[in-house]
Structure 1
Amino acid sequence: MTPSFELLNNEQHRNLRIKTELVDTAHNRVNTALVTVGELSTLVHEYAIFISKSPSTEQFQLAAILGFNTAENLYLQDNKWQATYLPLDILRRPFQAYIPDANKVREGRIGLDVASEQVNKKTGEALFDKQGEATEYLKKVQKIFAELMAGTEQTRSILEQANQLKLIEPVTLNIDIPGQKSVVLNGLYGFNKEALTKLSGKELEKAHQSGVLQVSHLILSSTLHLQKLINWSQK
């Protein structure tokens, strides 16, 4: 299904509804989801999180691994999400941020994929009331985007500081799934444990005050969830 995004407005989309109970959709069948540092404390309990680079800006960002192959989301099973917490990048769908100027993120607007299976005119959460005002559901969506925008800037800043401290290194994941072909995931980065232990003096203080240390420990602890994904993939 080809996405068809339209900028959200209370006239054109007043009668549209979103079937939020429908989880197994085309836009959720992805093998990674973007993550912000503000989500890490909860997401690391259920997701393996690595560093990647934005294809458009080449800046570092955080990504939760959802599957090992393109369009494979192992967290989707029987139209249910196999985790208590969902990344904001998943919760915001079928909406998408429209940011014409990368330097003016806060001036972005919200777009809606009107081709999504979740969008219809009969059942689900309404976007606007009869007066054209945003419903409580849409206000929640707007709050998600506000958190994403702020969180993206914070994440970019922390990862850039980590890179300046030479704490980030390329990572290649060689995934061996019993009974299946081995999978190699490239284009990922992680924190260098040895470099972290060698931090001292002003660099250690900077890493602590900036939040780099906390983020690095959270991300390193999350890698154990790769085994869970391997088990799901095997089944």
Structure 2
Amino acid sequence: MGQHVLLNSVEHRGLRVHAGHGARLGDDVMGALTFPDEFRNVQAHYPIVFRREPAGGFLPLVLFGLQEGCNLFLDGDRWDATYVPLSVQRQPFLIGVAGGERLVHVDLDHPRVRDAGSDGALLFDAEGASSEHLERIRSVLLALHEGVDATPAFVAALQRLELLESFFLDVQLEDGSLNRLAGFHTINEERLGALDGATLERLARDNHLLPIYMVLASMSRMRDLIERTNRRRAASR
């Protein structure tokens, strides 16, 4: 669950945060949350899929690997892509809302958090003013918060038009092993193509049409995940 506390310059004056990447920093994950306004950036590197939630809705995710606990874009302490999703960039911070105000919280149990005197980026200067790193994080959190807030309307449009369909991907890797990616949904391209002009116009007016096409374009990145998996397994033999 973590230890989420309100960030403040009195208690956390000396707190540092590791801003790099690596498995030890919690980055070795199969995927991460994304949102429609981010689709244009992420589709160039990662597949975008949808996961059904217990309450019945769907969440858009970017995939970094084909199995849990495997991020194929991690190369030691380097992230092998020019764009890192905001939900990864924001770690170990999150937004809490109190009285209508958005406040920055930090997970003190997150592996990125360092004590005073350790390596890592400071969050406050000697006078208690926010550091450049913290200001950047605030911008990331704001964009992420606004993007996530806008996601339900996008997903509702997809569900109303029955554009989401489940899929699975069977992969035979170069080492001969068989692997199946399942449990996710994507856009049904045939149903999308059958929509009438008025419906497409409404989707465009509501800023939903471009994200839909970004999802479709992103599915070509599945081939990259397969190739990365082959290279990683070959290197480990």
Aligned residue in 2 for 1:115: 109
- What SS does the aligned partner of 2:23 have? coil
Distance 1:176 1:8, change over 3 A: farther
Count of residues in Structure 1 that have an aligned counterpart in Structure 2: 229
Aligned residue in 2 for 1:137: 133
2:66 is aligned with what amino acid? Answer: F
Of 49, 67, 70, the match for 2:68: 70
Q: Whole-Å Cα distance in 1 between the matches of residues 152 and 42 of structure 2?
A: 18
- What SS does the aligned partner of 1:211 have? coil
Matched, 1:150 2:146: yes
Deviation at 1:190, TM superposition (A): 0.8
Deviation at 1:21, TM superposition (A): 2.8
Query: 1:88-138: per-residue Cα shift (whole Å, max 9, x none)?
Result: 0110012234468xxx9x645433232333322232211112222222211
Q: CA RMSD in A?
A: 2.2
Matched, 1:213 2:219: no
Aligned residue in 1 for 2:34: 35
Deviation at 1:145, TM superposition (A): 0.9
Q: Whole-Å Cα distance in 2 between the matches of residues 180 and 96 of structure 1?
A: 42
Pairing of 1:1-235 with structure 2 (within 5 A): 3-55=2-54, 57-98=55-96, 107-120=101-114, 121-122=116-117, 123-179=119-175, 181-235=177-231
Q: Whole-Å Cα distance in 1 between the matches of residues 185 and 50 of structure 2?
A: 5
CA contact (8 A) 1:7 1:112 kept: yes
The more displaced of 77-86 and 15-24 is 15-24
Deviation at 1:180, TM superposition (A): 5.2
The more displaced of 74-83 and 12-21 is 12-21
1:59 is aligned with what amino acid? Answer: G
- What SS does the aligned partner of 2:68 have? coil
Distance 1:154 1:170, change over 3 A: same
TM-score normalised over the length of structure 2: 0.87
Is there any run of 5+ residues in structure 1 with no aligned partner, and where?
A: none
CA contact (8 A) 2:21 2:79 kept: no
2:166 is aligned with what amino acid? Answer: P
Q: Name the % identity.
A: 26
1:110 is aligned with what amino acid? Answer: V
TM-score normalised over the length of structure 1: 0.88
